[in-house]
Amino acid sequence: MIYIDWNQVQAGKGPDFHRLLREDALPAMKKAGVKAYLVGQTTFGDTAQRFEIVIGINDWSYFDGLTLLEKGMGRDAAMQFFTKRAALLAKREQQIYRYRPELSYLSASQQAAQR
């Protein structure tokens, strides 16, 4: 499963959002032991002020208890992060996707790599 956090940053706030992710979120994710944390920025087809954060999760227990940011930086620091982030965003959406093997196709080399 993957958790995707879509962030529409206010005009002119992209560098501040980038800095917030680099200096605060990334170290916290590493400290929390996250195995996959990917950040992308839209370059074509939508506004360049849109950032996508993808986190690999094993199961629904990800949503039990503390958030990953709280685990990685502590509750008070995470609350400060959330406040800073909210001041930079125009819109935020969250989605969860899970792999459906019965609806998917993998080439022979991809299947072999999964074994």
CB atoms within 10 A of CB 100: 7
Q: What is the DSSP letter of 27?
A: H
pTM: 0.82
Q: Which domain holds residue 43?
A: 2-114
CATH code of the domain covering residue 26: 3.30.70.100
Task: Count how many domains the chain has.
Answer: 1
Helix (H) or strand (E) holding 71: helix 68-73
AA identity, residue 92: R
> Which tens digit of pLDDT belongs to each residue from 40-94?
998 887 777 899 999 998 888 888 889 999 999 999 999 999 999 999 999 999 9
At 3-42, the pLDDT tens digits run 999 999 999 999 999 999 999 999 999 999 898 999 999 8
Q: DSSP string covering 102-114, please?
A: GG----HHHHHHH
Cβ atoms 6, 52 nearer than 8 A: yes
Measured in whole angstroms, the distance separating CA 106 from the mean position of its chain's CA atoms is 25
The pLDDT score that the predictor gives to residue 74 is 95
